[in-house]
Structure 1
């Protein structure tokens, strides 16, 4: 990959000119991947334009100061409304955004436009087909639709089948998501490409920083760490219930949950009701969660659904022993890549890189309810890793080895291949 100093040297005019379209730069996995792609393409000599539908910007541009300046100079906000506006309001703004996107594509002489997430994807697919349109779906479609309002869900379900035929390529980040997407919309498998998210190159460096926040004094071999927004989909309630059983078997066990969200008070109260509050810390949002991950004895991912579990991959990259619920989609692909994506763990499933347990119960239960079989399996897996040092160390080595497959260079090369293929199908442009 070209050194960031190339930012001051300009891009190669013979290389493709790529537009990257996304709703906003609010914090999120899709935004991180879009920014990483823009950064890596630019410094491989490609001309890149970042196109935002809304002005919100929580995420810093990646790379060195020169890289950030180069990307800032190539960033355009197409709309002025908030990403939090209602679905109807956003729909009414579609014609204006469509015109502004068309103008940006023409002004920057873009050869291809790559979009991320449903609203940007729909807008992209409505564009002039003389410019290839590549759409990237970041969640399993059933999970993505479940999170939307009825109006938005209807809009996506009706529009996608009509517009997907216009896509030069459809990219997903997990094979399980691709399989479901193809079934849902009746697409042949060869219409889809899977490009897993890479591990950010600075994770190891940032992990060496000293943690500074709630729970930093509880890290160590006896500590379970979970990272994720405090929402039902991330499964922290089942984790807390399982942790109460872990404490009965391992009195020194501790639990640190990194993240914030609407379930914070519920989790705090549940820890009290379960009698484990002294051994639990809700660390809140941490801009750099990696020291907490690196300081864990075991990392847990109890999610009910994932688009692609970046937190799990990052924990593996940092050499942590991991226990993950076998939810759609991604944990199985990371921990048991040689198994079918349609397989679901029925109990503890040992792999070379971690332990899979059955999906967590669909609804959160209170402190008095007996553990479900899935919660019991989660408790048993965590207990086993805390007690068995040799097993934990073996899984740490396996996790680290498995994570080496998810490099930024490999992801960028895969994106470049998809883009090049879409341009080749169109023929020469300059």
Structure 2
């Protein structure tokens, strides 16, 4: 048997990181009964490495999407896979198209709420395309229950196709690498945020809430992206530029996590936040917006009241874009030492639910349920 794994690129994002880890686990599985190939749509700066034993095909094309689809179809026709696993929407789209032509089993993976893509022009067309693609897949791996619920409720996907597979982590490696001397900060006890510097991550709200809270401990935002200069200017306008640092993308963020006072997630939409769980494994308390992935992880008991925040089972939560709620959460964690210590312990405890062993056994079961004869 043969399987192909497809992703848009291997640049520095959460989906790419999970894809790389999954390939390493699949490649090292001596019990599987299929060979493995990888397809990467775009040549980009490759942050994450794939196993050296795996054949990798790049199908970037000067003709754009149409050229890539044609290349992918020719590759699949030649390779004759029994199944294809894809990550991210464009790869999912190509996967479903080719599956209809050649009859293999298509397993697509949704890493965030598809509703987050419904911005800008052609919203109706985008929603129709998402609905068409996802309804035709044989199985859909969703990073959280909330993402699966969204596909069922908003895109009429059959619940039987939805498979939840949370991300996984090597906690021993995280603990070991957190002791490396990679951090450039002389401070400890800063507020930490990590992610692509794009509008969807809500870093402008984070800086605003931080400035309004008047907390003197520094704010560090790790990551690269198009919004960097806008965020720097925003910090200047609010008078906190001396306390807000942008170290950029860091290959080993774990020393930063270990020294953090808390981890703040302000995304407007979030499938499953890797950096948040990694921080939790190092005993860092969490403040997070109420989006699909964080809801699964932190387990809030109910919706947050407007203009406020609440204590979930494993962290503090606030409504997305609610600057006042985030500001109050900062102040509560700063002033309530008993709460801080409680959440530090609970963070580490909760993170252990997301082990690599559990992740891979769930993935294997999904493939067995979808692809006849696979082991």
Shared fold, TM over 0.5: yes
2:119 aligned residue (138, 146, 154): 146
1:94 aligned residue (69, 76, 100): 69
1:28 aligned residue (3, 8, 13): 13
Tell me if structure 2 keeps the 8 A contact 1:256–1:282.
yes
Partner SS for 1:203: helix
Count of residues in Structure 1 that have an aligned counterpart in Structure 2:
368
Q: Deviations over 1:352-371 (max 9, x none)?
A: 311001211xxxxxxxxxxx
Question: How much has 1:402 moved relative to structure 2?
Answer: 0.9
For 1:85-124, list aligned pairs within 5 A: 89-104=64-79, 106=80, 110-124=81-95
Counterparts of 2:90 and 2:371, CA distance in 1: 23
Counterparts of 2:265 and 2:177, CA distance in 1: 21
Q: Deviations over 1:108-135 (max 9, x none)?
A: xx33211111221122112245421111
Tell me if structure 2 keeps the 8 A contact 1:178–1:192.
yes
CA 1:80–1:274 in structure 2 vs 1: closer, same or farther (change >3 Å)? closer
For 1:307-386, list aligned pairs within 5 A: 307-326=271-290, 328-336=291-299, 339=301, 343-344=303-304, 346=306, 347-360=308-321, 374-386=322-334
Tell me if structure 1 keeps the 8 A contact 2:14–2:273.
no
Q: Does 1:281 align with 2:245?
A: yes
Q: Does 1:76 align with 2:37?
A: no
Partner SS for 1:41: helix
Q: Does 1:171 align with 2:141?
A: yes
Counterparts of 1:302 and 1:315, CA distance in 2: 15
Partner SS for 2:52: helix
1:185 aligned residue (155, 175, 179): 155
For 1:396-415, list aligned pairs within 5 A: 396-415=344-363
Match of 2:178 in 1: 207
Counterparts of 2:281 and 2:314, CA distance in 1: 11
Q: Which runs of 5+ in 1 are unaligned?
A: 1-15, 63-67, 361-373
Tell me if structure 2 keeps the 8 A contact 1:241–1:375.
yes
Question: How much has 1:99 moved relative to structure 2?
Answer: 1.5
CA 1:25–1:242 in structure 2 vs 1: closer, same or farther (change >3 Å)? same
Question: How much has 1:239 moved relative to structure 2?
Answer: 1.3
TM-score (norm 2): 0.90
RMSD value, Cα: 2.4
TM-score (norm 1): 0.79
Question: How much has 1:40 moved relative to structure 2?
Answer: 0.6
Match of 1:54 in 2: 42
Partner SS for 2:186: coil
Tell me if structure 2 keeps the 8 A contact 1:298–1:386.
no
Question: How much has 1:429 moved relative to structure 2?
Answer: 8.0
- Give 1 or 2 for the bigger CA radius of gyration: 1
Q: Does 1:388 align with 2:359?
A: no
Question: How much has 1:258 moved relative to structure 2?
Answer: 1.5
Counterparts of 1:376 and 1:129, CA distance in 2: 53
Q: Does 1:17 align with 2:5?
A: no
Question: How much has 1:295 moved relative to structure 2?
Answer: 0.8
Tell me if structure 2 keeps the 8 A contact 1:246–1:253.
no
Tell me if structure 2 keeps the 8 A contact 1:298–1:382.
no
Tell me if structure 1 keeps the 8 A contact 2:165–2:362.
yes
For 1:243-322, list aligned pairs within 5 A: 243-247=210-214, 250=215, 252-322=216-286
